[in-house]
Amino acid sequence: MANNFRNGSSHRSSLTKTDRPLSVNSNAKGAVKSKPLPASGLRKSSPASLGSAAAAAAAKDDAGVLGRVRVAVRLRSRNEEEMVADADFADCVELQPELKRLKLRKNNWDADTYEFDEVLTEFASQKRVYEVVAKPVVESVLDGYNGTIMAYGQTGTGKTYTLGRLGEEDKASRGIMVRAMEDILADVSLETDSLTVSYLQLYMETIQDLLDPSNDNISIVEDPKTGDVSLPGANVVEIRDQQSFMELLRIGEANRFAANTKLNTTSSRSHAILMVHVKRSVEGRDIAHSGENGNGTQMVKTLKPPIVRKGKLVVVDLAGSERIDKSGSEGHTLEEAKSINLSLSALGKCINALAEGSSHVPVRDSKLTRLLRDSFGGTARTSLVVTIGPSPRHRGETASTIMFGQRAMKVENMLKLKEEFDYKSLSRRLDIQLDKLIVENERKQKTFEDEIERITIEAQNRISEAERNYEDALEKERLKYQKDYMESIKKLEEKWILNQQKQGSERIMSGSKDYSSDVASNGKDSMASVVEELAEVKKLLLKETKSRKAAEGEVNNLKSQVAQWKRSEASGNTEILKLREMLEDETQQKNKLEGEIAILQSQLLQLSFEADETSKRLDRGGSANGPGSLDSLMTEVRNQQPKDSGNGEKASIAKLFEQVGLHKILSLLEAEDTDVQIHAVKVVANLASEELNQAKIVEAGGLSSLLMLLRTSEDETIHRVAAGAIANLAMNETNQELIMTQGGIRLLSMTAANAEDPQTLRMIAGAIANLCGNDKLQTKLRGEGGIKALLGMVRCGHPDVLAQVARGIANFAKCESRASTQGTKTGKSLLIEDGALSWIVQNANNGASIIRRHIELALCHLAQHEVNAKDMITGGALWELVRISQDCSREDIRTLAHRTLTSSPAFRAEISRLRIER
């Protein structure tokens, strides 16, 4: 098996599900849920994490399943050196893989036998090793559990080859890291799931980021309630494909410390830790919420919050244990070997204590044991592969490795499912549904109103048309009857005239007849004519009567049509009234629905606060009325009393932020009322303390408004709070450049020169200290008086102010040191040129630990560059460096000071001249 462990390639394969966990046991709280996992060889042992009794109590409260640490042993084949040196000697190890046993020879006739979960010979393939050691752990992580895969063994036995081999030339040689990521990528959906990676190394009790070498002092944070360990300062990179992951591994391996020893040409000098965080969304469960209406209790809404499962895979490539006399380590390599052996020894002590059921587990003896407290005796599923060599020369180291694995097999973990409700996603979904309901209701209401208007207009048009038709018909009938009447009169006149003419002619022609016969004849003719005339008139009158009756019938018909139209109008009005009543009912339903939705939102907000592990408790009080105008907004801001400066105030401020809006709050910074300005700037300062709000404040012009307050206001309280808000914003690198561009350093310096209040000076010093940590702003910050402003504030003498001044000087010195190492800066330190060295030396042994720690760190960074050595010797800094290297309480600073004194020719010469003992 080759010893060069830093080659690899990328390849993806689908994950075949085997040995899957059983169903999840429901938990009403929804914060953490557990389900059984298959675990072989379960033993009764303490389920507590490394040295954490609180974790044991938490495990007892939340259902979990015991899972013993599984241990596999892998034998490395002889290398070229051993083939020559041990040619006449038999291997000290004999494997029986079919029985999962290993024999360690004491001599030619006696041997000790050990059993493991898996025994892998030198011919076992990388695929076989992955499937028996890592694949069950990877599957557990995909199901929402924490998992750990770790390699332990002597230097040169193949730990890095087993875990970190990239296999770029030969895919069959890929290690566990590459194969695990292939299986994870094959199983997750990058559209809905999240996959992030951090890659670190523990080097001489200092945690360093392999993806960002400048991030070389990462702190460990432990949750006091759950005992979970996190590294908030580490870089977290989102993984989208296998190629990007391979590139991260290449970068990390390039930055990892390695050295050439007698046992291994590329011996790892640090513990490498790969952390893979998998966040997966699964289908949510139903949660019923009930409300009250007029008829009684009914189900208001059924919420289905998505469930998020969070799994963490930790792959640990431990540095190899070694004996100094065999590895030939000396100098700095010797110090590295001592640090490695100490951390491995601390890990062994913890595992011994857990295996023996001891009440005390020394977890805090090493950062390695603190990092692995969840892996041994915690809540993670752990798989350990111990690597050994066959050489009889190293039988003692091989025996020690085997015993380490045997003790680890006695440790049991309490496996827990990391499952949470995604209330934020549910809130977004409810907001979308609410918007849709509002839009749909408005659309229906508009359609309803349009329909009412259409029916009304149509009814009015039909009534108007019927009236016009009735009037036209009456006018036509009147004209027709009038015309017929005139024609009838005209005909009668014409007939009467013809009769008169006829009678006159007859009298003239019968002139010779007797008067009596003429009279009688004329009387008869006249009577006949009159009778005919009367008959004709009667006919005309009869016809006129029939026409009038027909007209009256037509009129009655038209009247009936008009009455029908009026009835239709009345029916339409009735329908309109019904529609209006329906509209009022719809409006009431809408108002009721909005009220129910508001109730659901308030309930959802309360559940979200309770479920979020990182949120704080709600404020003990707060305004219950949302501001609706500028006056109410001012009242709301005034009501935020500064009685509590803790988590309660932050929660109240967050409520005010949601109800009022950032732009309205920022507008109050320009109010004429000083009291309103004070309360408004306090609200902005509290908002700026949350990283999520900082970008919003800057985008809305909040930074410019804060700087304007420093420039124009004369109130000491406004200066103090505004400087605190700027200090919070200055924690972001992008905001730091904006502050410098807008003249922030000059304003802070001027404010510091005129301020006397220690708290105001502390805020200003904190803001400048944050700016001092930016490599790009060093020259500009010093040119605008930032360093002199810091030194000027020491006149106050208050410990809090001095602590911030010391922190700023330490940040500035660290950036200068980094720039000098990278070759971007030459010449003497700007701190020395501005006269800061004398104050640094005077306070190097300050009674306040936080001031002393920053000053000691600044001295060490200044001393790393030879150009500063002469000034530091004449200024008395050498004596302080010697003291730091001997008496400093922090080991990393003490080591840095010792290394600096050793590497500097000027310091060595002066120490030799003064005969200072080190």
Which residues belong to the annotated binding site for ATP? Answer: 153-160
Q: What distance separates the 2 farthest-apart alpha carbons in the chain? A: 195
The residues near 516 (Cβ < 8 Å, ≥ 6 apart) are: none
Tokens of 230: 């996190």
Mark the binding-site residues, compressed into ranges: 153-160
CB pairs under 8 A, 24+ apart, for 391-394? 391/78, 391/82, 391/85, 391/86, 391/91, 391/92, 392/86, 392/89, 392/90, 392/91, 392/92, 392/105, 393/82, 393/85, 393/86, 394/92, 394/154, 394/326
Structure tokens at 566: 């009026």
> How far apart (Å, rounded) are the C-alpha atoms in residues 341 and 320?
8
Give 501-547 as a DSSP string. HHHHHHHHHTTTS-HHHHHHHHHHHHHHHHHHHHHHHHHHHHHHHHH
CA atoms of 491 and 343, how far apart (whole Å):
141
- Bridge pairing between strands 206-209 and 194-203: antiparallel
Contacts 24+ apart (CB under 8 A), 93-97: 93/388, 93/390, 93/398, 95/119, 95/121, 97/121
Q: What is the DSSP string of 113-176?
A: EEE-SEEE-TT--HHHHIIIIIHHHHHHHHTT--EEEEEEEBTTSSHHHHHH-B-SS-GGG--H
Tokens 């640990």 found at = 316
State the number of CA atoms in the 13 A half-sphere of 321 facing the CB.
Answer: 25
Cα 854 to Cα 873: distance, rounded to the nearest angstrom: 20
Tokens of 65: 């399943």
Instruction: Measure CA of the first residue to CA of the last residue in the chain; give whole Å.
Output: 45
Q: If you write DSSP's letter for every residue of 396-433 in order, what string do you get?
A: HHHHHHHHHHHHHTT-EEEE---EEE-HHHHHHHHHHH
With beta carbons less than 8 A apart as the criterion, state whether 735 and 700 touch.
no
Local structure of residue 193 (DSSP, 8 states): -
d(CA 132, CA 118): 7
Dist CA 803 CA 811 (whole Å): 12
